[in-house]
Structure formats: C-alpha cells, structure tokens
Structure 1
C-alpha cells in the first residue's frame, strides 16, 4: 500500500480510492493497534513503521474529510475482489522471494488479531471470511451519513 499511495495521491483516481479506503482503514488500523516491530524505540525500523502506517491513515482520511471522496456499497465488493488479486500476487512474490508479505506464510511474531484465528492456514481462511463484514462495518458511517444527507456519496 505504501507503494500505491503515491500513485493514488498523484492521479486521484476514484477506483483507487474505493480500494485503498478499505485496505488502509481495515488493514493499516490493525497494524497500528497491534504493531509488528522487531526493534524498538529509537531505531530506524521503529520510526519507519509508524511513519508508514500512520501516514497511510492520514492520507486516506485527508481524501475523505478534505477532498470529500466517499466510497459506495459497490466499493466494498470492488475492494474485496482487488484484495483477492493482491493476495494471489503476494503468494507468488512470497514464494519467489522467500518472504512473508501480508503474513500469508506465518503469523507475525508479536501478538495480533491473527492469534485468535487459529494456526496456518486456518487464520488465512478465517481472515477471508471476516473481510466483507469488516469492510461493510467500515462503510457503515458513510452509509449512515449519506442517509442523513450530511455527506454526498459518489
């Protein structure tokens, strides 16, 4: 996401917003609540982690509150489908690079919500099952505000 956000901020394509709003709020917020930092304060990794995660949230909230971009219910499903493609890409890259992007090969060493979802590969399946309800929960404030006429949805 940190690689996609500069492209999004330059082009400001709505379809990118539709995807990133759910990925960033749903995923990055988890990273903020349960950080996976191997080296503590004051290390480069510590500061990089927080700058990237909080920066992603700041950028997406800037687009929501300042630029008035809003997701739709269709955005939930577009984001979910894009996430499936992203997961397949990450599985390929993890295999190619012997990496663990998106925690598809093993859970993070630090405590996280994945600890409640079982061992590999069950935590991936459980994660997949809760993504759409989580995305709908993220969409709920936009839906309520739209129904009350306080926000204009696209």
Structure 2
C-alpha cells in the first residue's frame, strides 16, 4: 500500500537497514564481541518488547511484532499454528538463531564469561 517514495516506505527500510548496519558495524568496526550469555539477554529483551507491545497493538489496532496475528500475505509463522501458539513456538527458533549468531565469537577473551550488561 505504501510504495516508494512515500515516507512510510522510506521509514520502514531506513529503520530496518539501520539494524543490519549496526549489527555489522559493532563487531567489524568497533571490535565489539558479545559475552558468552548475551544471547540470553537479547532473547529476554525481545520477549519483554513483545509483552510490552502487545497491549499497545490491542489498543491501537496495530500488529507490531505480529503479536496479534500472522501477516496477511502469509509467512513462516503460519506453520507454527494459530494465535497464540505461534508466539510460543517461535521461541525455539528465536533462541536457536540468537545462539547461532554468537558462534563466530566463541573464542572469548580470558575472564569474559559473564554478560557485558552486568559489567560496569
């Protein structure tokens, strides 16, 4: 419904593009490496986001994070069952993917076994 050059189109690709650029910039340019258990923090924070956005979706009639329904055009979420079951089943691939994304950084510096979120 929103084609280029509408602001909605540009905002969508800008916000999602910044996410990908940041994910590449942190480890490649700034030499940032996730700590051993940071993928669990990411998993918990993603679930906190979904829990916080669901009431907003219900109030505003939106569907951010697909907490209300699967996409109308169809998606892989359709294979995970109806609402709310797909939200529960999605936890498995989400956690697995977050763990797999840490594999390139498995050689942790000496003493770095805890989460960087807990360090000062």
Is the contact between residue 3 and residue 9 of structure 2 (CA under 8 Å) also seen in structure 1? yes
Q: Deviations over 1:12-58 (max 9, x none)?
A: xxxxxxxxxxxxxxxxxxxxxxxxxx423343322222121112211
Q: In structure 1, which of residues 85, 104, 109 is the aligned counterpart of residue 67 of structure 2?
A: 104
The answer to whether residue 9 in structure 2 is matched with residue 46 in structure 1 is yes
Aligned residues: 112
Rounded to whole Å, the distance in 1 between the matches of 2:46 and 2:30 is 24
TM-score (norm 2): 0.76
Q: Which of the pair is proportionally richer in helix?
A: 1
Q: In structure 1, which of residues 60, 84, 87 is the aligned counterpart of residue 23 of structure 2?
A: 60
Q: Deviations over 1:81-140 (max 9, x none)?
A: 222222211122223333212110011223432132222222111112222111111111
Q: In structure 2, which of residues 51, 57, 61 is the aligned counterpart of residue 88 of structure 1?
A: 51
What are structure 2's unaligned runs of at least 5 residues? none
Rounded to whole Å, the distance in 2 between the matches of 1:77 and 1:108 is 27
TM-score (norm 1): 0.62
Higher relative contact order (CA 8 A, sep 6+): 2
Equivalent residue runs for 1:4-15 within 5 Å: none
Q: Provide the secondary structure at the position in 2 that maps to 1:73.
A: coil
Greater C-alpha Rg: 2
Rounded to whole Å, the distance in 2 between the matches of 1:111 and 1:48 is 23
Considering only aligned residues, what root-mean-square deviation do their CA atoms show, in Å? 2.4
Equivalent residue runs for 1:69-84 within 5 Å: 69-84=32-47
